[in-house]
Chains A and B, each alone.
Chain A
């Protein structure tokens, strides 16, 4: 019984803000508010950049998780600590660090810009970079723990059958850790979708190019409360549409 009470308190704590939001929502004005290009631009940008960031995170993060979980390379604990760092840093600090690295006068960004004219900040790629920076740890750590829990002997069996490291990863290891993989990707996507501090500091804010939903909400709060609430509801709705169908089926098993 006490367990249920504690759980119910937790749910209530999470639920009440959403109810307050719904109660203040300008339901009658919602359709016209949502038709504003600001909303569609921000939503499109948010979903696209979060998805791209998750794809990048998977491409880089899954091998990284494998190295952390299965290899015996020296310095793994250092690498793991570095991977965890973006989760601990305030996102704005992360954004500032990204600027120092990839800005126009940055360590890497400077030479890159002088040589090719390519610039990460103030473009959607800057948004993707910022999102990936903050969301990658979620993917890596989740997949790493899944790999640790999985039985490595299946990989031995695959090796005796002549499978290359890449084939083993693709056909044996990954299917085995699929639940962790899905959980990690979802967490990564959700984190990227909600990212604000690093994005605004690194990529800037421009409607249609770098203004994601969280940015739009923040600015709308300054001038048009109702628009802010409308935008928030859209963001919540999109998140629910993605998160709710993923319950149970892929998280467990």
Chain B
């Protein structure tokens, strides 16, 4: 005599146990798949690199997860099923190296900061100094994310005390608000300016004040397909891979 509640409970337990079995590296139909965790500022770059790699290797499928670098770092530490990690700063990567969560990282590209303004620069923003002027509506990334941390460094170098009206939790939302005209200016990466070219204009930050950002990439130790992961990293480092990055505005590592 089966108690309906007990039956339901058994079904639930079986369903829960079946889930981990679904996350293995090789699919039923022979497709090889890896998951790449990438910093938000690498969204376009990694996606394009992924497509190019898949085009060259038809039996490969790459899945991406983009978020703030520290968020991804935490997920990997908690055991998330990532194969490759590309960080927007070295700090996050170093933390993973320390505990052996990743193999030896290698730099794939560099980036710099830029002032972004709405198309046509309606407020007439000219330099970092304007960020201290409270009559402008300006935004930065929150200091907890790499973009914000780097921006603070740039301001320190320029000797400017910024007065932001908002500190966005990620660089994409900052970019969106500037592009929509809700903000007069923001500090984002040069690559972001180039990506949103039609809707924004960029203003260069002098080299003396600017910050160079390096992007390290590494294979996650717990990866289900280390070979494929390393193949992908190698592709990124290849001339073809770097060509894609250059086209998107990244600098050499």
Indicate if A touches B (C-beta under 8 A): yes
Shortest Cβ gap from B164 to chain A (Å): 7
A211 to B169, CA, bound (A): 11
B137: A residues at CB distance < 8 A: 104, 119, 122
A119 to B166, CA, bound (A): 14
Known: A103-B180, A104-B181. A218 touches B169 (CB 8 A): yes
Contact B180 A206 (CB under 8 A): no
A204 to B168, CA, bound (A): 7
Interface 1/0 per residue, A199-221 and B, CB below 8 Å: 01101111100110001001111
Contact A204 B165 (CB under 8 A): yes
Interface residues of A in 211-251 (CB under 8 A from B): 211, 215, 218-225
Interface residues on B, range: 20 to 34
Closest Cβ neighbor of B92 among chain A residues = A222
Shortest Cβ gap from B229 to chain A (Å): 25
Contact among B68, B74, B144, B182 for A104, CB-based, below 8 A: B182
Interface residues of A in 171-210 (CB under 8 A from B): 200-201, 203-207, 210
Let me know if A121 is at the binding interface, CB within 8 A: yes
Contact among A201, A203, A204, A223 for B144, CB-based, below 8 A: A223
Interface residues of B in 155-170 (CB under 8 A from A): 164-169
Interface residues of B in 77-127 (CB under 8 A from A): none
Closest Cβ neighbor of B138 among chain A residues = A122
A211 to B143, CA, bound (A): 13
Let me know if A10 is at the binding interface, CB within 8 A: no
B165: A residues at CB distance < 8 A: 122, 204, 206
Closest Cβ neighbor of B5 among chain A residues = A2
A105 to B120, CA, bound (A): 15
Contact A206 B74 (CB under 8 A): no
Tally of A-B Cβ pairs under 8 angstroms: 65
Known: A2-B4, A122-B165, A222-B70. A204 touches B180 (CB 8 A): no
Let me know if B173 is at the binding interface, CB within 8 A: yes
A16: B residues at CB distance < 8 A: none
Shortest Cβ gap from A204 to chain B (Å): 3
A203: B residues at CB distance < 8 A: 166
Known: A2-B4, A104-B137, A105-B181. A206 touches B144 (CB 8 A): no
B226: A residues at CB distance < 8 A: none
Contact A200 B169 (CB under 8 A): yes
A204 to B169, CA, bound (A): 9
A203 to B177, CA, bound (A): 11
Let me know if B216 is at the binding interface, CB within 8 A: no
Let me know if A43 is at the binding interface, CB within 8 A: no
A219 to B148, CA, bound (A): 12
Let me know if A5 is at the binding interface, CB within 8 A: yes
A12 to B154, CA, bound (A): 49
Known: A6-B5, A122-B137, A221-B71. A99 touches B182 (CB 8 A): yes
A204: B residues at CB distance < 8 A: 139, 165-168, 177
Shortest Cβ gap from A114 to chain B (Å): 12
Shortest Cβ gap from A122 to chain B (Å): 4
Known: A99-B182, A103-B180, A205-B142. A223 touches B70 (CB 8 A): yes
Let me know if B145 is at the binding interface, CB within 8 A: yes
Listed from nearest, the 6 A-B pairs whose CB atoms lie closest are: A204-B166, A222-B144, A223-B144, A222-B70, A2-B5, A122-B165
Task: Name 22 interchain pairs, CB-CB below 8 A, sorted by A.
Answer: A2-B3, A2-B5, A5-B5, A103-B180, A103-B181, A105-B181, A119-B137, A200-B168, A204-B139, A204-B167, A205-B142, A205-B166, A206-B166, A210-B166, A211-B167, A215-B169, A219-B144, A221-B71, A222-B70, A222-B71, A223-B70, A223-B144
